[in-house]
Each structure stands twice: as structure tokens, then as C-alpha cells.
Amino acid sequence: MSPTFLPPTLGAERVRVDVAPWRLSGVVVAAQLNHRPQLAALADAAQRPPYKALPSAPVLAVKPRNTLALDGDDVPAGAEGLDVGATLGIVIGRVACRVSAAEALSHVAGYLVANDLSAPIPGDTPHYRPGARFKLRDRSCPLGREVVPVAAVADPDALAVQVWIDGVLAQATDTAERVRGVAQLIADVSDFMTLNPGDLLLLGVAQGAPRALPGQTVTVEIDGVGRLTNRLVHDDLSTGSAA
């Protein structure tokens, strides 16, 4: 198996992959509001100023290097905990620029498990686009160490996803019900930005993300892709590089 490496900020930890020796670029782009039930829950809030409409194109968040972590790393969290965002990571294998949905999967090297953690937003009002300080905390985007080759996953839009907190099942969902499935997401994103080999595109989290507290261990498992485990540690001062 050929090794590939994560960015130097992660200590050049080795990730094993059964395809060509891709080197993860450190560019991680996360799709937001890509789960139909999640988008439906925000429909009223989206109609209010300043947006006044649901998004017609993908809503994306680029993860800075300070947010990246690996399987087994501790993740700092405030006393209120973090919302667990289990998601499928799509590893780009060939340059994708204005590709069609029909050809999109030919630009994928493989898949890995990711956890797009978020700080809880105060109050009960849904937020269309949460502030950076809720999404860009240090080590808040752990990534799996194993990349499963694209050919080994028959249908990336039909994978069971489970979240376990301290060994107790906290969420059971799947990669279906997406506004944009894997191929369509790549096509729509590549229409306005180029995805390069080693870039990672996150499919987006499902509605109803469970909350984990400091001291708890979170495991995300995606059927046929793998599992990712991290422990939350108490750190009220860790707000990431964006305050």
C-alpha cells in the first residue's frame, strides 16, 4: 500500500491508501446545509434578511490548518461541549474544473471519515451561516487516517453513518437525502472553484447532530469507509484562530 501524508502542521502523520500516492494538500472544503432535513429546518430563517432566500448554489466553508486533526487526537472543547458533525470526506485524485456529474467520480481518489465539530450556538434561533468562532476551533475537524479507494465504495450516497459517544449510540443516519450527492456536489463546486489532487471535500453533516462534552470519547463510523475516534478535553479558552 502506498503512503500519503497529511499537511506538515499535522506532523506529517502517515495515511495509508490503496491508490496512487496522493498527498493530502491540506485544503479542506466543507459543504454546509447539504442535508435536506437540515435545510428544511432552516427554511424560515433563510427567508429573513439579509438572505431572504434559500441558497441556490453550494454553501461552503474552507477549513484553515488550525482546525485539522487526526484519528486519536484530543480535541479541545468548552464546558458547553461540541456538536458532532459526522461526514464523508471525498479525496480528490484528479484536477476537477467544471466537470459534469457524470464524470465527477472519475476525479475522486477515495473516501475517508471526517468529523466537522461545531461549538453550540446560543439560543434557539437557527443560523443560516454560523459565525467563524463556532466553526473554526482548534482541531475541530478530525480526519481518518485511512483512505478507501473510490472503486471499493459502490454507492457513496447510500452509506450508513453512526456516531457513538462513550460507547453509546448517539446518532444513526446515512449519506442519503443530500441536496447534492457526491457526484453533483463535485460538479457544482468545480463550476466555480478548481479542486486539485489531494484536496478534501466534505459532503456535509446530517440534521440532529448529537452533542459531546469534555471528557467524552466520540467515534464516527461510516459503513465501508472506516471509523474515527477522538476524545474531547476541557479547554474554555480554545476558540481557534477566528474569534
**Residue 16: beta bridge partners?**
3, 146
**Domain ranges, ordered by start, for the chain:** 2-234
Q: What pLDDT score was predicted for residue 102?
A: 98
Q: What pLDDT score was predicted for residue 6?
A: 45
Q: What pLDDT score was predicted for residue 125?
A: 55
Q: What pLDDT score was predicted for residue 123?
A: 61
Is residue 19 within 8 Å of 109, Cβ to Cβ?
yes
167 — pLDDT class (breaks 50, 70, 90): very high
pTM: 0.87
50 — pLDDT class (breaks 50, 70, 90): confident
Q: What pLDDT score was predicted for residue 4?
A: 40
Superfamily for 2-234?
A: Fumarylacetoacetase-like, C-terminal domain (3.90.850.10)
- Summarised one tens digit per residue, pLDDT across range 96-105 is 999 999 999 9
**Residue 29 or residue 242, greater confidence:** 29
The pLDDT of residue 137 is above 70: yes
Whole-angstrom Cα Rg for the chain: 17
Half-sphere exposure (CA, 13 Å, Cβ side) for 94? 9
Q: Round to the nearest angstrom and report the end-to-end CA distance of the chain.
A: 41
**Residue 25 or residue 129, greater confidence:** 25
Q: What pLDDT score was predicted for residue 243?
A: 34
Mean pLDDT within 12-32:
66
43 — pLDDT class (breaks 50, 70, 90): confident
Query: CA-CA distances (angstroms) from residue 46 to 39, 67, 135?
Result: 9, 27, 19
Mean pLDDT within 220-228:
97
The pLDDT of residue 211 is above 90: yes
Burial of 66 (0-12, 13-18, 19+ CB in 10 A): middle
Q: What pLDDT score was predicted for residue 52?
A: 80
Mean pLDDT within 109-137:
79
**Residue 156 or residue 24, greater confidence:** 156
- Summarised one tens digit per residue, pLDDT across range 138-158 is 999 999 998 999 999 999 999
236 — pLDDT class (breaks 50, 70, 90): low
